[in-house]
Amino acid sequence: MKFRDLREFILFLEDRGDLRRIKAPVNWDLEISEIADRMVKNGGPALLFENVSGYNIPVAINLFASSQRMAWALGVESLDELATRVKDLLGMVQGPPDGLVDRIRALGQLVHLGSFQPKTISRAPCQDVVIEGPDIDLLNYPVLKCWPLDGGRYITLPLVITKDPRTGVQNYGTYRLQVFDHNTTGMHWQTHKVGASHYRAGSEMGLKHLEVAVALGGDPATIWTGSAPIPPGMDEMGVAGFIREEAVEMVKAKTCNLLVPAHAEIILEGYVIPGEERDEGPFGDHTGYYSMEDPYPVFHVTTITQRKDPIYPAVVVGRPPMEDYYMGKVTERIFLPAIQAILPEVIDINMPAEGIFHNLVIVSLKKEYPGQARKVIYGLWGLGLMSLAKTIVAVDHFVDVNDPSEVVWRVANNIDPARDVFFSSGPVDDLDVAAATPKFGSKMGVDATEKMPEEGRIREWPPEIIMSKQVKDLVDSRWNEYGFNE
């Protein structure tokens, strides 16, 4: 299960009966969005719209919109396989391997890692056609308008590539692009994202232009890395290579000094000018609310390269769960071992769809000393984009964080609100709708673990209700006798 590009993945999904081709004419203006939304909510297949009115370029959507498709996209049948590989890798990096067998395995992995580094090739399908000057028109692509109050049409699944002007290291991020006209778009990298930090560094250094390339399509693991908060300075393409167990092939962009994925469908090349900003929005966002107008940099497209017959990839976000939930869930699974490397008492984490990642995090931990749940909550608030988490709820290790019924039952029972709910403040997501001011606001920690005497609960914790094994066995053995199975 290795995909060179988007079309191989599409054919694979079709082969598995998990992709539908729609030949009926459909409109880019809200209609595709409504169809895609219904399909995600009903567990439907990936969609390839082959007849978008006014266009001869098909639109692929919902490619990642289920746990199974997301796993396949990353080359595995189940995400656990990938999480285990990440765990092994981290174990190897962290501590010295124990026995000889471990040592050989670790060595093998390291050698392997080398071969997963991106490779630069000189001729690439994404550059089969080169479009320049007056021929550039972003509206030649079936860019979607997703929701009625949207301020325009948005490119929703781009891989935005920039280079840190201080270090030269490339970053890849999925930041939507509002199409302003034939050759400019908004560049919606939010404050806490790596693209925005490159932009601020470029401004400080007095750069006239910050080069930007945007890849649409590519192999699915590469596309996904754009949505993952890979630590800055770590090359996403190395991560994609590790996931696919095969190096990602890159090619030098035609007109800027950036490497782009060779097997993408379409590449937009251009730049942003530090200081030049324009209102972007409104946009029906993954919060389930519109994000209203806000100034963001303007992306000037100077060259487009593409395949001869490109496929245009898109997602629609809105009230959860939607496609981005499944993309983010992988991040949660893959980053868990990394979090455990720093907070070893953490057992599991769940960011439920309704909490759209930054609103609600549920974490279970093996508590051994007083205050440990708070240590974990504060620890998470110090980790990368976890710093944006508005509410973190901590439960004991035996609680299944993925079972909302159990979580609500335990939390509601276990907390003495004045003692166990505590507040802090810090950076909040640009998309937060509640904070009084943008970007800064309050946070809530909920310690729903069973309390120790030192934590202020001096009464003994009551036993949980569990029927005795003797009686269970008795009832099992007499079940038919009661007449229930007749």
Active site residues: 285
Q: Choose from ligand FMN, Mn ion, none: what does 281 bind? Cβ within 5-8 Å by kind.
A: none
Q: Contact, 192 vs 258, CB < 8 A?
A: no
How near is the Cβ of 225 to Mn ion at its closest, in Å? 8
3-class DSSP state of 480? coil
Identify the CA nearest to 376 among candidates 313, 298, 458, 448.
448
327 binds ligand FMN (CB under 6 A): yes
How near is the Cβ of 195 to ligand FMN at its closest, in Å? 6
How near is the Cβ of 228 to ligand FMN at its closest, in Å? 6
Q: Choose from ligand FMN, Mn ion, none: what does 189 bind? Cβ within 5-8 Å by kind.
A: ligand FMN
> Per-residue string for binding with ligand FMN, 167-196, x by CB under 6 A?
----x-xxxx-----------xxx--xxx-
Q: Phi then psi for 377, rounded to 5 degrees?
A: -65, -50
Burial class of residue 219 (count of CB atoms within 10 Å of its CB; 0-12, 13-18, 19+): buried
Q: Total binding residues for ligand FMN by CB under 6 A?
A: 20
**In whole angstroms, how far apart are CA 485 and each of 456, 470, 472, 476, 479?**
50, 21, 17, 12, 7
Residue nearest to ligand FMN (CB): 173
Q: Which of residues 142-201 bind Mn ion (CB under 5 A)?
A: 171, 194
Q: Choose from ligand FMN, Mn ion, none: what does 327 bind? Cβ within 5-8 Å by kind.
A: ligand FMN
Q: Choose from ligand FMN, Mn ion, none: what does 195 bind? Cβ within 5-8 Å by kind.
A: ligand FMN
How near is the Cβ of 144 to ligand FMN at its closest, in Å? 12
Which residue of 40, 179, 223, 228 would you call a contact of ligand FMN, by CB under 6 A? 228
315 binds ligand FMN (CB under 6 A): yes
Nearer to ligand FMN, 109 or 191 (CB): 191
Residue 283 and residue 333: Cα distance in Å, rounded?
28
User: DSSP readout, 266-323?
Assistant: EEEEEEEEEEEEEEE--EE-TTSSEE--EEEEEEEEEEEEE-SS--EE-----SSSSH
Helix locations, 134-215, DSSP H: 194-204
Q: Contact, 333 vs 216, CB < 8 A?
A: no
Provide the Cα torsion 242, 247, 248, 250; round to 10°: 140
Identify the CA nearest to 396 among candidates 409, 386, 382.
409
Which residue of 230, 262, 376, 392 would you call a contact of Mn ion, by CB under 5 A? 230
How near is the Cβ of 194 to ligand FMN at its closest, in Å? 4
Residue 29 and residue 428: Cα distance in Å, rounded?
32
Task: State the residues that interact with ligand FMN by CB under 6 A.
Answer: 157, 171, 173-176, 188-190, 193-195, 226-229, 315, 317, 324, 327
Task: State the residues that interact with Mn ion by CB under 5 A.
Answer: 171, 194, 230
